[in-house]
Chains A and B, each alone.
Chain A
Amino acid sequence: MNPEKAWLYFDHCASTPPHPDVVRTLAEVMQRHYGNPSSLHRAGLDADRLIRQARELLGKLFEVEADEWIFTSGGTESNQLAIKGAARANRSKGSHLITSVTEHASVLEAFLQLEREGFEVTYLPVDSIGRISVEQLRDAMKPGTILVSLMQVNNETGAVQPIAEAGSLLRGCPDTLFHVDGVQSIGKLPVRLREWGIDLFSGSAHKLRGPKGSGFLYVRGGVRLEPLLGGGEQESGFRPGTQNVPGIVASAKAVRLSMESREERARKLGGLRSRLLDRIALLPELEVNGDSAPDSPYQAPHVLNFSYAGMKPEVLVHALEEAGMLVSTKSACSSKDDKPSGVLLAMGYPRHRAAAGIRVSFGDEHGPEDIDRLADALAEAVRRLKPLERNGR
């Protein structure tokens, strides 16, 4: 049986089915332009021109300069390079950094590492719907704060951070760089790099129907970064190593496709989310984590997180898989350990609820009937599992 037909894939926050046109671009460029973009001959020159074109496309889509984009191996590298690179390169200006408690592991890990190097890090708390407050950010700022890093959309709950407001606060602090992890937001939410005063912005292609192993990082002109790797001058020296030419071209295409249809997609996915919320409301066993208001501006349209407290989330995941529905427990990057979700704990949920989070995330291929099938399967799974609920929930 063809697995593509066998399941409904509700794990878009982890990765997305690639767009057929993107796959074609990837294959054709890989086949035809294998030259090393750093080579002096024509094959190299051609590969280099394709990268240039990809950069210009990103520049145009985000209304910034082409040269302000560098290509990486993915979201994790973009985040690590932005955070560690900016902190280390600007140490002479200060050693205080700010982020939030609900960031992606690739961000939190970078800050932990910087703490070991002697940086001081403030972790902003979040409220019950997963948002930081700009007032708390303002209070955390001090002379010597050289970097603030926030995600635009949380990868577990879909909570949307007040990026524009944080950006205007930081405008008054020229020595503080502002990094935004946009891995989950591109193609779903508006992104306004210049207007919001963003200095560094991370993206990942496979979260928006592009290829894996391809990421990109906006580095505002004039911002200094210490490279993570050594041994080459590629990507303005920020990111040595032979560029992934087919990945870069295909990523640029994926970004274009995702951004050109963003508003329509956001509307459609928001509708699907409301539909699922309505159905979950009929199941008293399930509790929605985050803002459960339909069309909430504080919530990305493509993610819904809920808990079946008293039930190990893996059990529900497997029960749904039996019915052909693929969903996820917390984030894919940390879903194999047993601990409660740090994000849900930070939002103030009790331990048993935070340990039972289920994430449903959807995309372009889904329609209302798919949501209905998921809801039916959920209702059936809950009915079957109810006798097995642990006491003391």
Chain B
Amino acid sequence: MIYDFITVRFGEITLKGRNRGRFEQQLLRHVQDALGHMPELEFNKTYGRIYIKLNGASYKEAAAGLGKVFGIHSFSPVKRTESDADSIRETALEVWKSLPKEPATFKVSTKRGWKGFPHPSYDMNHIVGSAILRAYPGLAVDVHRPETELRVDIQPEGTYLYCASEPGAGGFPYGTNGKAMLLLSGGIDSPVAAWSAMRKGLELEAVHFHSYPFTSEQSTDKVIELARWLSVYAGKPLKLHLVSFTDIQTRFTQTGQEHLTITLMRRSMLAIAELLAEKHGAGAVVTGDSLGQVASQTLGSMNVIGRTLSLPLLRPLVMMDKQEIIDKAVQIGTYETSILPFEDCCTLFVPKSPSTNPNLRVVERTEQSIEGLGDMVRLAAENTETIVLSRGEIIKRKSAVLQESEDRDWF
């Protein structure tokens, strides 16, 4: 590998006029954070770009980290040289020599970011292109569909040459579009919804409902493991709130409206999530709902369930196919964990024929008939266990009592 730098290009944030400076700073921090395990790297931010000096570190390793940072449009391994025609020509030959496979056609594209450079772009394309043609007589120029495009980016501090670009994760830098509360089950969908939300610049806190002792400790561990994966993509520590749903769920099975159990459960979960969102300053709730997938995700169910909330309910997967969701889960690394066979609280007590078109009035009347439901919801939201995860590590699994001891400064 002859490359000594990585050029990182920003994505959608370049569209955001006034906040651009702040976004770029944030992105630089996230990049530095994601590559924090590689002490050799040096970072330098210019307008719309980050240049990372490798100092001998592995490009591949750095690329793996960069691929997880939201807000990056693309990045390339580059070779840097002096901004003068001779150096550029020599370096171009060096870069060409290092290509893994010699292409049949090529073109040179020069971008003259430094207007003080004496040769116009067109001249530079010619100077570099003819040098390569002389050295590789079998090669042909194809300006429309070249097999390889050698790019020459001339800047005042130096010129960067490269042949390849990798797409970044895109989106906005983590947390630049506010914060949301995610309902995280143990399934395939919600981690993908989380990834999509984070990609759009949402900072997330996750909430998981368990029905211990009807669900096992292992099913909670599985969710912690999913959150651990997600925390790799987050630009700062990710909180996972574990909520005991047993009491509420048990109560719902005694209403005599078995077909509404799932509807009632989903509504209570959203209500609890909203309370947590308010407590932790989140401005939306995110779920993994995908239209028509199960009884609670029909249009009718979505209508009745979604009405519980005052906050916006974001459903990033709503129009995606199951297979698309699965492919994404595989790509972001959560699929293997999601398919582990532990029951979660939704697969428990599933009625034989859940309603696909619940009646809002009946649902609301049933809720009103349950004495103390509001208190149970509040209590569930108060008695959460919070786990903090950062960059794939569980940094703190804090129980309610330890949270209490911290709040009250007992130690």
User: Interface residues of A: mostly helix, strand, loop or mixed?
Assistant: helix
Interface-facing stretch out of B153-161, B362-370, B399-407 = B399-407
Interface residue B47 (Cβ < 8 Å from any Cβ of A): no
Provide the B393-411 mask, 1 if CB < 8 A to any CB of A, else 0.
0000001111011001111
By the criterion CB–CB under 8 Å, are B408 and A28 in contact? yes
Interface-facing stretch out of A1-9, A46-54, A77-85, A289-297 = A46-54
CB distance from B243 to the nearest CB of A (A): 15
By the criterion CB–CB under 8 Å, are B410 and A249 in contact? yes
Size of interface on B: residues with Cβ below 8 Å to A: 10
Interface residue A148 (Cβ < 8 Å from any Cβ of B): no
CB distance from B177 to the nearest CB of A (A): 37
Residues of B within 8 A of A249 (CB): 405, 410-411
Alpha-carbon separation in the docked complex, A365 to B367 (Å): 59
By the criterion CB–CB under 8 Å, are B409 and A54 in contact? no
Which residue of chain A has its CB nearest to the CB of B400? A46
Interface residue A252 (Cβ < 8 Å from any Cβ of B): yes
By the criterion CB–CB under 8 Å, are A53 and B411 in contact? yes
Alpha-carbon separation in the docked complex, A49 to B399 (Å): 8
By the criterion CB–CB under 8 Å, are A29 and B410 in contact? yes
Alpha-carbon separation in the docked complex, A46 to B385 (Å): 12
Residues of A within 8 A of B399 (CB): 46, 49
By the criterion CB–CB under 8 Å, are B411 and A256 in contact? yes
Interface residue A207 (Cβ < 8 Å from any Cβ of B): no
Residues of A within 8 A of B410 (CB): 25, 28-29, 50, 249, 253
Alpha-carbon separation in the docked complex, A249 to B408 (Å): 12
Alpha-carbon separation in the docked complex, A46 to B404 (Å): 10
CB distance from A321 to the nearest CB of B (A): 36
Alpha-carbon separation in the docked complex, A215 to B76 (Å): 62
For window 20-68 of chain A, which residues contact chain B by CB distance below 8 Å? Answer: 21, 25, 28-29, 32-33, 45-46, 49-50, 53-54, 57
Partner of B411, one of A32, A33, A45, A57: A57
Residues of B within 8 A of A21 (CB): 409
CB distance from A6 to the nearest CB of B (A): 31
By the criterion CB–CB under 8 Å, are B411 and A253 in contact? yes
Alpha-carbon separation in the docked complex, A69 to B284 (Å): 45
Residues of B within 8 A of A57 (CB): 411
CB distance from B155 to the nearest CB of A (A): 49
Which residue of chain B has its CB nearest to the CB of A28? B408
Please list the 5 inter-chain residue pairs (A to B) with the smallest Cβ-Cβ separation, ordered nearest first.
Answer: A46-B401, A25-B410, A49-B401, A253-B411, A57-B411
Instruction: List 12 interface pairs A-B (beta carbons < 8 Å), by A numbering.
Output: A25-B408, A28-B408, A28-B410, A46-B399, A46-B401, A49-B401, A50-B401, A50-B410, A53-B402, A249-B410, A249-B411, A253-B411
Beyond A25-B408, A57-B411: 11 further Cβ-contacts under 8 Å? A25-B411, A28-B408, A28-B410, A46-B400, A46-B401, A50-B401, A53-B402, A53-B411, A249-B405, A249-B410, A256-B411
